[in-house]
Amino acid sequence: MLVSQSVVDILQDRNPRLTPFPTTAEENLRQELHRLSREMFNSVVDIDPAHSDGHPIELVSVSRQEDLQGQPYLEVRLNCCGHPVLLAMAPCGCETCIPELRCATKNCKRACRSNCPKAPPIEMQSVERNGLMIAAATADHYLTGIFSALSVGEM
């Protein structure tokens, strides 16, 4: 039986109040994103705030995570216009239990309510870019600026 863990659930698990992610003084997060994406996917993932259609984007953390079945994925936390955004990335065709990654080749998009009735609505979108499945979730915002700033290139 395939266990499922939505990118929306991951966002709510990492940030139950759906407030902006706390920022760190850590420098070179873009370089860490480049390094981890090269190691995990043989591709370079970049998030360039200069291409975000005017949305102020702040990269907060980049880390290798495992889904509920132990499959690795790259998790990126950032704030866009003061709203938390969580990105999950995995290679196309991997057996992840994150359903939005499995359907990323269909470019799916949906809005949903969080588990807390007072919390803002959550938007989720997934896309496929150059062999990577990318799923994003954000609270009370939209994801166009994030996907405009996101690029995936070959090494």
Domain boundaries, the chain: 26-152
Whether domain 26-152 has CATH 3.30.70.100: the reply is no
* CA 61 – CA 77 distance, rounded (Å): 5
Identify whether the C-beta of residue 114 lies closer than 8 Å to the C-beta of residue 122.
yes
Q: Quote the CA–CA distance of 60 and 51 in Å, as a whole number.
A: 18
- Convert the pLDDT of each residue in 34-68 to its tens digit: 999 999 999 999 999 899 999 999 999 999 999 99
How far is C-alpha 121 from the geometric centre of its chain's CA atoms? 17
pLDDT of residue 141: 85
**pLDDT at residue 154, as a whole number:** 74
Q: How many CA atoms lie less than 13 Å away from 50 in the CB half-sphere?
A: 2
pLDDT at 1: 47
pTM: 0.88
The CA distance from 11 to 114, in Å, is 10
- Can you give the pLDDT at residue 100? 79
pLDDT, position 110:
58
The residue ranges of the chain whose pLDDT is under 50 are: 1
What CA–CA distances, in Å, run from 150 to 9, 49, 51? 22, 9, 8
The pLDDT of residue 39 is: 96
Instruction: At 119, list the tokens.
Output: 């919390």
